[in-house]
Amino acid sequence: MKEFWENEFIQTAAYYSVVILCMIVFLAIFELVTKYRNWDEIKNGNVAVAMATGGKIFGIANIFRHSIMHNDNLLTMIIWGVFGFFLLLIGYFIFEFLTPKFRIDEEIENNNKAVGFISMVLSVGLSYVIGAGLS
């Protein structure tokens, strides 16, 4: 059985499957903390929501990329990936807090593409910083 789990194809499939599952769970968490419904807004053509959501997807994937590269077993990769996600989530709340002149969620829901773009870049940028810190 050990040879089975050491097979690179099996390991890649396992990482992929776990990351897809985590992505679904983490996007559901983001859906809970935003005032708008991501997929409904995207379906209706809200580009700002699409950019912000795309940044979150990229950010989560990038965090797991770094976690896979720096950890040699599935459980450790998951733990570091979950930790990285929560740091990304905290970054989202800090972004909201640091913009007291307007509400990020409301601006994105109203299709403010500039705010959606900044949200996307923030998620992507933070994912690189978080990924660099994962060990």
Task: Report whether 68 contacts 131 (CB < 8 A).
Answer: no
Residue 135 is predicted with a pLDDT of: 65
% of the chain exceeding 70 in pLDDT = 98
Residue 72 is given by DSSP the state S
Residue 65 is predicted with a pLDDT of: 96
Q: What is the pLDDT of residues 39-54, one digit of tens each?
A: 999 999 999 999 999 9
Residue ranges making up the domain that contains 19: 2-133
| pTM (2 d.p.) | 0.90
Please count the structural domains in the chain.
1
Kindly report the length of the chain. 135
Question: Residues 107, 126, 124, 79: is their CA dihedral positive or negative?
Answer: negative
Residue 73 is predicted with a pLDDT of: 85
Burial 84-121 (b: 16+ CB within 10 A, else e): bbebbbebbeebbeeeeeeebbebbbebbeebbebbbe
Q: Predicted confidence band at 100 (pLDDT cuts at 50, 70, 90)?
A: confident
Q: What is the pLDDT of residues 25-35, one digit of tens each?
A: 999 999 999 98
Q: What is the pLDDT of residues 6-20, one digit of tens each?
A: 788 988 999 999 999
